[in-house]
Amino acid sequence: MTEFNKSKWAKAEFSQEYVENSDIYVVERRRLLEILRSFYNHFINNKPKINILDLGCGDGIITHELLKVNNSMSTTLIDGSENMLNKAKKRLNGFNHTHFIKASFQEIIDKNIIQGNFDFIVSSLAIHHLTMYEKKALFRSIYSHLDTDGYFLNIDVVLAPTEALERWYLLLWKEWIDERKAVLKIEGNYFNEISQKYKDPVNDKPDILDTQIGALKSIGFKDVDCFYKYGIFTMYGGKK
Ligand SMILES: C[S@@+](CC[C@H](N)C(=O)[O-])C[C@H]1O[C@@H](n2cnc3c(N)ncnc32)[C@H](O)[C@@H]1O
């Protein structure tokens, strides 16, 4: 089992850097959030008392987007980083029924950290920090904490299935960053740094999309699909 405390996310300065630059790092971040809200409106928002769980919540951006649609739902946010959870608490200050838990995914898998069931379990750009073995174990835990008809949605980076595709996907990513880099006047070889980090085996362990879709299906998820894809950036999930 990998350990959260040995990852870059355990360091406050790394998480701060991500929060400041995520709209540049993440291709079509704003569009992803629009699609997430549409998914929520279409599949979740018609239920009477909504409980959602945000895994690897970071500064709470995903939960915040959903609270903008429905501020009466109950939300639980989990992250391994105290620093990130503090940012999330600050961001969601003023919303009712918000619960924060400091725990790593490894603890979720090994111990009974999650209590109760949820209508919607969402995660963004966090699960790729786990090995495929751990991802599948986490998907099982997610499945067991979803209500019947509840949904899981994961926004994440994936590995390209071939080297030729990877070269193009990285080019797409570079083009996205280069356009914004000019606007924001970022110095240095920014893209090389982050594209190397994305496959750095100590921290980031992206897997092929098909493998993750297959894992969800084998666990019993229904309506499994990739809802959005742009190079290595994807949104996929399914229903219990
Ligand atoms: C790239 S940030 C994404 C944050 C937020 N979900 C977003 O979309 O902006 C990844 C988050 O996952 C958390 N994280 C990474 N590995 C984790 C693990 N093994 N267990 C729990 N949280 C983890 C980090 O602390 C960080 O807050």
Tell whether ligand 1 has an atom less than 6 A from the beta carbon of residue 79. yes
- Give the position of tokens 């291709």: 27
DSSP-assigned letter for residue 4: G
User: Atom 27 (ligand 1): residue with closest C-alpha?
Assistant: 58
- The CA distance from 119 to 25, in Å, is 30
Per-residue pLDDT at 188: 67
| Residue range 218-235: mean pLDDT, rounded | 98
C-alpha–C-alpha distance, residues 136 and 211, integer Å: 10
End-to-end CA distance of the chain: 27
How much is the pTM?
Answer: 0.94
At residue 198 the predicted structure's pLDDT band, cuts being 50, 70 and 90, is confident
Residue 221 phi, psi (nearest 5): -60, 145
9 lines ligand 1 (CB under 6 A): yes
- Which of 117-131, 156-170, 172-186 is predicted with the least confidence, judged by mean pLDDT? 172-186
Residues near 104 by beta carbon (within 8 Å), at least 6 away in sequence: 3, 4, 5, 80
| Alpha carbons 159 and 163: distance in angstroms, whole number | 10
Distant-in-sequence, close-in-space partners of 35: CB < 8 Å, separation ≥ 6: 227, 228, 235
Question: Mind listing the domains of the chain with CATH numbers?
Answer: 4-239 (3.40.50.150)
Distance 103 CA to ligand 1 centre (A): 11
pLDDT in tens, 143-174: 999 999 999 999 999 999 999 999 999 999 99
Q: What is the mean pLDDT of residues 124-138?
A: 97
- Whether residue 229 is predicted with pLDDT greater than 80 in this model: the reply is yes
Mutate which of 83, 84, 131, 233 to test ligand 1's pocket (most atoms within 8 Å of Cβ)?
84
Residues 6+ apart with CB under 8 A from 154: 122, 123, 124, 127, 212, 235, 236, 237
Please give the torsion angle defined by the CA atoms of residues 7, 59, 61 and 25, in that order, rounded to the nearest 10 degrees: -50
Give the integer Cα–Cα distance in Å for 189 and 137.
Answer: 37
Mean pLDDT of 182-198: 71
CA distance 129 to 135: 9
At residue 183, the pLDDT reads 64
Q: Would you say the CB of residue 14 lies under 6 angstroms from ligand 1? A: no
Residue 237 pLDDT > 90, yes or no? yes
pLDDT in tens, 61-102: 999 999 999 999 999 999 999 999 999 999 999 999 999 999
Q: Is the CB of 26 under 6 A from ligand 1?
A: no
The reported pLDDT for the residue numbered 7 is: 75
62 Cβ closer than 6 Å to some ligand 1 atom: yes
Residue 218 alpha carbon to ligand 1 centre in Å:
25
**H or E, element range at 88:** helix 82-91
CA of 220 to the centre of ligand 1 (A): 25
- Specify the DSSP class assigned to residue 205: -
Across 80-191, the runs of DSSP E, i.e. the strands, are 98-102, 118-124, 146-157
Cα–Cα distance measured from residue 1 to residue 133, given in angstroms and rounded to the nearest whole number: 9
